[in-house]
Amino acid sequence: MPFTDQEILETLRMVELETLDVRTTTLGIDLFDCADPDLESTAEKIYTKVVHHARNLVEVADSIAADYGIPIVNKRIAVTPISMIGAASGSSDLVPLARALDAAAKEVGVDFIGGFSAYVHKGFTRADDALFNSIPQALAETDHVCASLSLGTTRAGINMDAVVRFSGMVLESARLTADRGGLGCAKLVCFMNPVEDNPFVAGAHIGIGEPETVINVGVSGPGVVRSALARLDPDADLLAVSETIKRMAFKVTRVGELVGREAARRLGTMFGIVDVSLAPTPAEGDSVSDILELIGVDRTGAPGTTAAVALLTDAVKKGGAMASSSVGGLSGAFIPVSEDQGMINAVRDGSLSLAKLEAMTTVCSVGLDMVAVPGDTPADVLTGIVADEMAIGMVNNKTTAVRIIPVPGKGPGETVEWGGLLGTAIVQDPGRFGAKVLHNRGGRIPAPIQSYRN
Amino acid sequence: MARRFITVEDIHRANGAELVLDAETVVTPQALEAARAAGIVLRGPNGNYAEPAPDRGPDAGNVQRHLPHMPEPPSEFSGGTGVVVTAVGRNRPGILAQITAALSQGGASVIDISQKTVDDWFHLVLTVELLGDATFESLSQRLSALGGEDDFVVRAMHERVFRFMHRV
C-alpha cells in the first residue's frame, strides 16, 4: 500500500517542526582486556582500544542521518566500569584512566564517554575505593568523561556507607568546578538498580554481561508527543490520551530501531537495545513538562502530576515494546529539571517543589535529575535526599538515580546557567532539616523482603 | 585468543631489532613511537605492522548473519531504492518540470505524484525509485540544490523511514 500524503506529511512535521531526532547512538566497548599491572599501560590500552573501535562512529552516525533524514544529535561511548579495569594496577589514583578516556573521546569526536564507574551496592573493593577518591579530580580535569555509581540494588539493599561517600564526592566535585557553577556534578550520577546497557549520559556504561562491542540507541521525541496531545480534543478521556501517546511512542521507537539496525550493520557490530525515553531539551516545545500539562494538570508539580507521569511512562513503554523487540536501557520519561524549559518555569513559579519532584520519580523512568540545591547544603542533607531516592527504587524494583548539583555561592531561588543541553537551573530549597544521625550511622539498609524471589 | 595490545612497556622489554605480532594485535600509538625511537621493527604476519580492522567480538558475526533476516514492514519497491520527495513553496510555473528534470538526471523513476495548491502556495509529494547505479546521496544533493529562500524547498527521505514508522 503506498504511503498516503497524510503519513508522509506527518513524518516531515515530526522531523521539521517537532524536533524528532535520535538523541544518541552509543557504542559500548568492553575494556576488560585493557587491565594491566602497570597503570600507564592500562591507560595506553584504554585509549588505543576506544579509538580503534570508535574511529568511524561519528562518520557512520552522520552518514545514517544523511541517508534517512533523521538527525542523530549525539554520538557517545560507554565502557566497562573503570574500577574493574584499574584494579589490576593496584593504583590508588585512577585519574590517569579518566585522562585516557577523555583523550580518546576528543580524538574520535564524540561528545561524552561514560563508564568512570563502580558497582559498590554491597561493598568496596580496593579499586572501587580508589575510583571514589579519584572522581572529583577526574571530573574537574576532563571535559567528556562521565561517572556513575551503583549504590544499591533491590537484591543487595542500599550501601549507606557508599551513599555517605557519594554526598561528600558531590560537594567536592562542586567545589573543584565552582568557577563553572559546579558543572562537575552534572557528569556524576548514582544509581539504584542500574541498567547495564544505558546509552544516555551521565549513567552510560557497559555492564559485565555485555558483549565485546555493541550499539545502543536512545530515541527522544517529547515534541512529537506534545503536539499529538495538543491536537487531541480537550474533552477526550484518559484512555484516548494514553492511546495517543502509545501511537507516537511506537513511531518514534521505530525510527530508533531503524537507526540501530543500520548503525550495527555499518559498524559491523551488535545491535543492543533501543532506549525508548522521552528525553527533553531546553529547546522550545521539546518538554516533558508541557506533556504533563497537556494531560491535564494546571502546572507541573500541582496535585495530579504524579498520576500524569505514571500514565505517560506506561504509555511510552507500551508503544515502544510493540515497535521493537530490543527495548532496554531506562525507557520511559526523563524529568531532568534544568534541561526542560517547562520544568524550569514550574520551579520558578513555585509549582514544582523538591518533594513533589521526588514523588514524581516513583513513577518516572529514572529519578532526581539535574536538580540544583544551594552550594552550602550540608552533606547529611544530600545523604538523606540520595537515600530516599535509592529506597524508592529498591522497594519498587525499579531504576532510580540522583544527579544533584550543589551550586557554589548560590541560594534557593537563584539561577545558574550551564548552557547547551544542560540548560538553566533555579536552585531549589531542600528545607531546614537534615539526617545527621542517619548520615553518621552508615552501614547497609538490608534488601527488602520482595527481593527474596527464588 | 591472540595477544590484544603491545604497549611501551612491551617495547622496552623486547629483545632484538624485530617484534613479530599476531594478525589481531593492536599496537598503541605510544608503543609505535617507542619502537620507532628504539629502532625496533614491528612485523605482522604479512610484512610490516598495520593496524588491523577492529575485532568487534564473537557476537558481531552472528548479528551480521541474522540482521538481514530481521522482519521489516513490506516494501512497495521490487528492486530499486524507494525515495519520498517533498517540495513546499510559493507556486510559479515550471517547478514540477525542474524537479522531475532533476529526478531524471539523478536516475529516479516516478512511481506516484500528488500536488496541492492553496492560494499562492503548493506542496508536492513524489514517490520515486532509484534505478541502476543511482545513489540516494547524489539524488539528494541534486534536489537540495533546487529552489531557495522565497522560492521552494525540496527534501528527499528514504522510504524505509516511512515504512518503519507507518507500517507494522
Identity at A94, one-letter amino acid code: L
Q: What is the pLDDT of residues A207-220, one digit of tens each?
A: 999 999 999 999 98
- Give CA–CA dist A282/A342, Å, rounded: 9
B130 within domain boundaries: yes
- Give CA–CA dist A125/A133, Å, rounded: 13
Confidence tier at A5 by pLDDT (50, 70, 90): confident
Contact B156 A69 (CB under 8 A): yes
Q: Which three-class secondary structure state does DSSP give residue A114?
A: strand
- Give CA–CA dist A228/A20, Å, rounded: 13
A299 within domain boundaries: yes
B87 and B161, same domain (yes or no) = yes
Q: What is the mean pLDDT of residues A85-93?
A: 97
Q: Specify the number of domains making up chain A.
A: 1
B68 within domain boundaries: no
Contact A451, A155 (CB under 8 A): yes
Write down the pLDDT at residue B31. 96
A359 within domain boundaries: no
Choose among B28, B156, B165: nearest Cβ to A11.
Answer: B165
Residue A86: CATH number of its domain: 3.20.70.20
Write down the pLDDT at residue A80. 98
Closest CA to A372 of A422, A322, A447, A318: A422
Q: What is the pLDDT of residues A97-142, one digit of tens each?
A: 999 999 999 999 999 999 999 999 999 999 999 999 999 999 999 9
Q: Specify the number of domains making up chain B.
A: 2
Tell which A residues from 247 to 276 touch B, by Cβ distance under 8 Å.
251, 254-255, 257-258, 261, 264-265, 267-271
B93 within domain boundaries: yes
Contacts of A69 in chain B (CB under 8 A): 155-158, 161
- Give CA–CA dist A424/A341, Å, rounded: 8
B46 and B85, same domain (yes or no) = no
Peptide bond into A178 cis (omega under 30): no
Contact B114 A271 (CB under 8 A): no
Write down the pLDDT at residue B74. 79
Which structural domain, as residue segments, surrounds residue B130?
81-166
A369 within domain boundaries: no
Write down the pLDDT at residue A67. 86
Cα–Cα distances (Å) from B143 to A103, A451, B106, B138, B140, in that order, read 39, 59, 9, 9, 5
Contacts of B9 in chain A (CB under 8 A): 38, 40-41
Q: What is the mean pLDDT of residues A383-404?
A: 97
Q: What is the pLDDT of residues B124-134, one digit of tens each?
A: 999 999 888 88
A193 within domain boundaries: yes
Give the cell for residue A310: 505514571
Write down the pLDDT at residue B17. 87
Residue of A nearest to B112 (CA): A2
- Give CA–CA dist A186/A174, Å, rounded: 9
- Give CA–CA dist A132/A103, Å, rounded: 21
B71 within domain boundaries: no
Q: Which three-class secondary structure state does DSSP give residue A5?
A: helix
Residue of A nearest to B158 (CA): A68
B38 within domain boundaries: yes
Q: What is the mean pLDDT of residues A383-412?
A: 96
Q: What is the pLDDT of residues B114-160, one digit of tens each?
A: 988 888 888 899 999 988 888 888 898 889 888 887 888 898 999 99
Choose among B56, B111, B114: nearest Cβ to A212.
Answer: B56
B127 within domain boundaries: yes
A66 touches chain B (CB under 8 A): yes
Contact A2 B156 (CB under 8 A): no
pLDDT, mean over chain A = 95
Residue of A nearest to B159 (CA): A68
B59 within domain boundaries: no
- Give CA–CA dist A338/A347, Å, rounded: 10
A427 within domain boundaries: no
**Residue A4 per-residue DSSP state:** P
Confidence tier at A306 by pLDDT (50, 70, 90): very high
Residue B133: CATH number of its domain: 3.30.70.260
Is A1's pLDDT higher than 80? no
Contact A154, A171 (CB under 8 A): no
In the block, residue with C-alpha cell 544505558:
A198
B145 within domain boundaries: yes
- Which of the residues A51, A52, A197 would you substitute to probe the B interface, choosing the one with the greatest number of B C-beta atoms within 10 Å? A52
Which structural domain, as residue segments, surrounds residue A291?
1-335
Q: What is the pLDDT of residues A212-267, one digit of tens each?
A: 999 999 998 899 999 999 999 989 999 999 999 999 999 999 999 999 999 999 99
- Give CA–CA dist B166/B168, Å, rounded: 7
How far, rounded to the nearest angstrom, does the alpha carbon of residue B33 sit from its chain's CA centroid?
A: 33
Confidence tier at B69 by pLDDT (50, 70, 90): confident
A426 within domain boundaries: no
